[in-house]
Each structure stands twice: as structure tokens, then as C-alpha cells.
Structure 1
């Protein structure tokens, strides 16, 4: 995967044609899931995996709860992906509430299970334990340290997080960029961004990373809106454009229309990113396939033929 500076280009198709006309599907995609908490949620997860697998994602990631609260379920989900599918799994791993030895043991378990890709994150404190991350006394104090520790142990492929509109804990935007560079210099292959709703915000961030000497791929993380009230709660450091607010006005209690609008809004964001040269997309699926699949369809990506 080659990191290129964004090159704004003409919108595909003439004004009289559909917005998504002529997109050739020359994109790479990856999908994020979370480990299920119940039998019903497990069925929903595997339905989503089954529907999205034919799109041949580069990898699929599985999240890891605050304080390792989903550690066992994450491991079980990743192990099942390895055993029952041809997908490439990426397991999330955080620094929260674990010593270096414990994290090393978890990494070895993943390696033994056939997992070669880890999404290495500092992690957020568990709910009710304060707003600030506190390192374990014998643990890693940052994602950069975690990356270095994992890389020294095994030759994992490592992805890290990036924040187009600055991490909430960062003292300044410059400090946030410095932290990202440390993670990549420690051995990470790529960064995946927090969700955002403005293509301009992403491209401004790319300009900043390039100016800081960061050349690794910065993959945009795309979050279709499943609940606008939830997005408001999660967007402490993410700007929600007034135009997006207007699109979802009156839809909080109408899940069907809201899902359709969300898919179109996210696809339009991806179209703008595509026009600027982006060819890699990471989708936060929330274990629902329909919206991510629809967006990929609009971008021209088609499932691989069944043998």
C-alpha cells in the first residue's frame, strides 16, 4: 500500500448522471466488528461477516473493551474467524489495566491462533474510573510503547489510531501529530482514523501529517450513522456539519429511513474522498452489514464470483 498525497480530481460523471456513475470499484476496504455479548448478537455478527466477506476485505478487525472487559470474547471471535473463514483478522489490543507480561501473553495467544495483525491502541479507561488514562504500574504508558513491545516480541503487522480532529487528551494538535509519528516510527504499518464527517477535515489532516514527515498510509475510518443521538455523544472532538444534522432531522424514531439516509451520507463522504485520491476505506460496521455493503456497492466494489 503506497501513501500518496491527495490529488483533487474531477467528480466522476457528468452533472446529468448519478453521483456514483462510472466508479470502477478500484478500492480496498476493511471492516471493524465488536465481540458479541449474547447468542442473538453472535448470530448478527456472523450474518454481517458472511454478507461482507465476498467483498474481499484487506482485513477485518475485532474491538477490545475498556480495561480488557471483552478480552475473552475478542479472542474467541478472532479465533473463529481464523478457523471458519478465509478472512484476515486483526485483533485490537490496548494498554489498559494490563501489565507488559499480560499483554505479551495475549499477543502470544493470538500468534499461536494464527493472527498476524494487531490494532495497537492506548485505550480508554473503563467507565466510572475517571476521564484520564492511567498506565498500569507494570504496563505500557502509550500506544507507541505498545507497538514497540509487540514488534520486539513477534513480527506482527500493526495498525494504530489517528485523529483528524485531534485526540481529546492531546495537549495540542502538534503534540497529537508527534504521538502519531512515534507510533509509526515504533513499527506500525498504517494508521486508521477515528470517524469524521468532513472530507476537508481528512485532507487537512493529510497535509499536516505530510508536513510532519509522516508517509505511512492514513486510512479513513467511516462510520455510517445508526443513531444520531449516539453520534452526538461520541463526537466530543469530531465536528458534525450542520448539513448532516439537517439530513437526520426527525429520523431518531424512524430507523428504516435513518439507515437509508445514513448509507447515502456516508457513501457521499467516501465519494468525496475518492475524488481526492483515496482508495482505502475502513468501515466501522457496528456488526451490521447492510450499510457498509451498500456504500461499497455505490463505490463500484462488487463481490468476488463464487467458485
Structure 2
């Protein structure tokens, strides 16, 4: 019976939320409305992404600065190797540090030409996320570094073992947490976790979950990042292309089932790819047993 779950839980439930920087006034309003909605849940941190090829770099920086200035949340700024020399990336790290950022999500990043292009390190830049992690820790040892992990293998990795080799290199360089690419079959996560632990990697491997806002868009995204989309999931969204209200109900059901199963199997840390939409994520957190820590959390200041 699921009703006894909350009574059995002895470890605290920890969540983090990922947002992307807005590029229109409407998206700006949606982003900050979502942040304000989710803030009372007391996330460990909120992360802000770069676009493909680092294309949203300045907007990422601006969003992080506003989170620091206008909220009580802890920001984790994404940083990639793409399109910059080591000196340029190091300067960004120093700027973040001066602004109060103490947590960076270090990523290799997508090819500058977008999905499908072969990744080429920038001349004079960091070649991969392990080198980037080492560079961050060299500049400021007290910056916490999170990195990515891939339960179904990074699309550019030859094998799962090679992928885990890279994760090990990132940990050896100073990473203290890994956040997984989203997945829909929990067995992928647990099998991956077994292989990672067998390699002597003991940092937290936090599952990344994505509520499906739009099935077709998600499917295209999944194909680019190597996530398989099971047939049962496609069947649940079949025929709902023009039925937004029902899609939301199905999305909450699917994500809640996945999260509750992870919780039943001892997982207490969750990272949500919010797509800048708060309602689905808030509902899922509620079903997990998470409640607002302070309903009087300060509202965002007007920009």
C-alpha cells in the first residue's frame, strides 16, 4: 500500500530544479513565476542552463545574478567548454565566484553547430568536463561542482564503460555530485548505479526527471540526448496532440509513478527538469510528500 510510504521514510527528501534562461518578455514572466511558485519547497539548489553551443551564456549569467539578488535560493550555474578558451572560461568562473556563486554544473556542452555535428574542443579551451572541473577547482576549491551522468550512455561515448570512465575522471577532478540525463525506465538508473558503484564511484548520482509537457517535443529531445522512449509511454499520450488539459494529467501521472517508485526503492534526491513550468513539478513534489517550508517566502523583487 502506498499510503504507508511517508511514515516509513526516515531520510529527508531533497529536490533541485533546473530552469533555462528566457529569450522573450513572456518567457521571462513565465520563468520568474515558476521560480516563485517552487521556491517555498526549499530546493537544495536551482540550476540555470546554457543553450546548445553556449548560445544563452549572457542570459544564463543574468538569470543567475537575479536569483542571487532577488531570492533566497542557492543557484547552480551551468558552464560548458564550448566556444571559449580556458582563459575566457576561467574569467567566467571568477565572475561567478565574485557574485556569490558557490555551485557550478560543469558540462562539456553540445557541439557549436548543434545536434548531429561532431564535437570539436575549442582551440585553447577545455577539452571535456573533467578538464573543466579541474579548472574550476583550481580557481576556487570551495566551489561545489556537479556533473552529468548518463544511465543509457552519452550519445558520443563508444560504450557504457567508456562513459563511466569519463564520470570517474570528473570525480577524480573534484566533482561531488552527478545529475543524470532524464530517463523513463527506472531499471536503467539502478543498473547504471550498480556499475558506477562497482567502479568505486561513491558520489551521489541524482536521478533527473522530466514531466512530459509536450510528447512530440520531448521525443525529439530524447533522440538527441540518447534517451529511449518506451512504447508504453507513447501509448499513454496517443491521440492527445490537441488536448492540453488531458496531457497535463497524464504527464503528472507518469512522472509521479516514476518518482514514487524511485522513492520506494530508497531514492531521496531528485532533480527536476522543469522546462520553466512549475505546476507539474509542484504537483509531483506534493505527491512525494514535500510541503512548502515557509509560505511567507519573499516574493521576487520587480526587475
Structure 2 residue 157 is matched with structure 1 residue 170: yes
Structure 2 residue 294 is matched with structure 1 residue 305: yes
Structure 2 residue 53 is matched with structure 1 residue 67: yes
Structure 1 residue 12, shift from structure 2 partner: 3.2
User: Could you give the per-residue CA deviations for residues 5-47 of structure 1, whole angstroms, max 9, x where no partner exists?
Assistant: xxxxxx6337xxxxx7757693100000000001111100000
Match of 1:249 among 235, 238, 241: 238
Q: TM-score, normalised by structure 1?
A: 0.91
Distance 2:116 2:82 in 1: 13
Distance 2:155 2:30 in 1: 32
Question: 2:267 — aligned with what?
Answer: 278
> Higher relative contact order at CA 8 Å, sep ≥6: structure 1 or structure 2?
1
- SS of match in other structure, 2:3: coil
Match of 1:33 among 19, 24, 32: 19
- For the 8 Å contact 1:120–1:146, the answer to whether it is kept is yes
Structure 2 residue 131 is matched with structure 1 residue 142: no
Structure 1 residue 289, shift from structure 2 partner: 0.2
Question: 1:295 — aligned with what?
Answer: 284
- Normalized per residue, which structure has more helix? 2
Structure 2 residue 28 is matched with structure 1 residue 42: yes
Structure 2 residue 194 is matched with structure 1 residue 207: yes
Structure 2 residue 213 is matched with structure 1 residue 226: yes
Q: How many residues align?
A: 292
* Range 255-264 or range 98-107, more displaced: 255-264
Computed over aligned residues only, the root mean square deviation of the Cα atoms, in angstroms, reads 1.6
Q: TM-score, normalised by structure 2?
A: 0.93
- SS of match in other structure, 2:147: strand
Q: Which runs of 4+ in 1 moved over 3 A?
A: 11-14, 20-26, 127-130
Structure 1, unmatched stretches of 5+, are: 1-10, 15-19
- For the 8 Å contact 1:23–1:300, the answer to whether it is kept is no
Q: Taking structure 1 as reference, are residues 45 and 128 closer, same or farther at Cα in structure 2, changes over 3 Å only? A: closer
Structure 2 residue 229 is matched with structure 1 residue 240: yes
- SS of match in other structure, 1:60: strand
User: Could you give the per-residue CA deviations for residues 92-128 of structure 1, whole angstroms, max 9, x where no partner exists?
Assistant: 0000010000001111111111111000000001345
